[in-house]
Amino acid sequence: MSSIYPVLLPNVFEDMLVGDNAFYKQPQYTEIKQREFSQIEPLAPMYEWNTEHKIMRVVKVIFSIIIFPIYIYQILHSLVAALVLPSSIAYSDEDILSYRMRVCHDNRAWKMKRISVACDGYTIDAMIMGKPDTFANRRWALISDGNGELYETSYNAYKPILQGIGANAIFFHYPGVGSSNGPPSRLACAKAYRAMLRLLEDDERGIGAREIIGIGHSIGGGVQADALVSHELRTDKKYVFVKSRTFATLSQVAAERVASIAGLLVRLFGWNIDTAASSKKLRAPEIILQTADVEVATELTSSAPIRHDSVIAETAALATALLDDPACPRESKIFLGIPEGHNEEADPRVIVPRIAHCLS
């Protein structure tokens, strides 16, 4: 595991989320919210977590430029990102600001605040969302979106789940997506997830959540899995991780959905996220949602009902790989076959009680 160099900033989250100074109790909350969301650049970071020293990062950049093949490899890695993360090139600043205006006009029960987190030279753009009566309960969800999604367009879909489990949420953009800066890479995406997870876990400088629900859709489940490979979960926290319609390996999806050469490029240039391998090592409770030939959500004991969800074939599905592997530990896993396709909203009534059960 990489050495960690924490940057000790004053903990502003306690006052920001609860008490008389909470952000949503400010007389000018609506105006402040609109000002924050109308800025295309990321806000000044409120939290910083690094895995390597700044000097080491500079040395790596210089070394990669001097050693020409490494520099070329990094460029090609970034180019493959357009295949893996099309949202890194799909949205203009005008598009993003347009979506953010919808968030600004959402002034009902849910309260939103934009924040930023710094990690190894990246600034990760994020949004906190919750209700005044839940911000103090220390139950938080960490949402990692699917391909082509922005949190400004996806957050509404998670409200029923958050309402059902009484949780607050953090949404974030991957590096190079939305207002998160820096070139997108597999390592950067995993670091961004770990930085958000660290923010939730940190009792001294962060939010200090006691219960953490990671919810990842599609490639968001892969990013979650990739991050957890090198993240040590805290023994004093409760966790449950949800992977919704996620792949076993990214290269297999690329090969089946695009062409064999796409799968080769994903492997060759370091983008082959192995969600199945990570899941097999995960000891926290895990709920895996996969499209299946069922009329209502059904817990699966075999891969037979799993079907193509319009993006991920049954042969490339995470649940298929795990259910077909007799060596996969299943004690803390729930395999849930659902009728909804890849980009359809799953029924929160079947997800909420299972999350609650895993946290009990």
148: left (phi > 0), else alpha (psi -120 to 50), else beta? left
Range of the domain at 292: 5-359
Whose CA is closest to 125, among 210, 36, 200, 201?
36
pLDDT tens figures, 255-271: 888 778 878 888 887 88
How far does Cα 268 stand from its chain's mean position?
A: 24
Residue 8 pLDDT exceeds 50:
no
Which residue type does 296 have?
Answer: V
Sheet containing strand 211-217, edge to edge, reads 5-6, 47-50, 111-119, 122-130, 168-172, 139-144, 211-217, 238-244, 286-291, 333-338, 298-299
- pTM over 0.85? The answer is yes
CATH classification at residue 346? 3.40.50.1820
Confidence of residue 90 (pLDDT cuts 50, 70, 90): confident
Residue 36 pLDDT exceeds 80:
yes
Please give the tally of structural domains in the chain.
1
Confidence of residue 281 (pLDDT cuts 50, 70, 90): very high
* The pLDDT value given to residue 175: 93
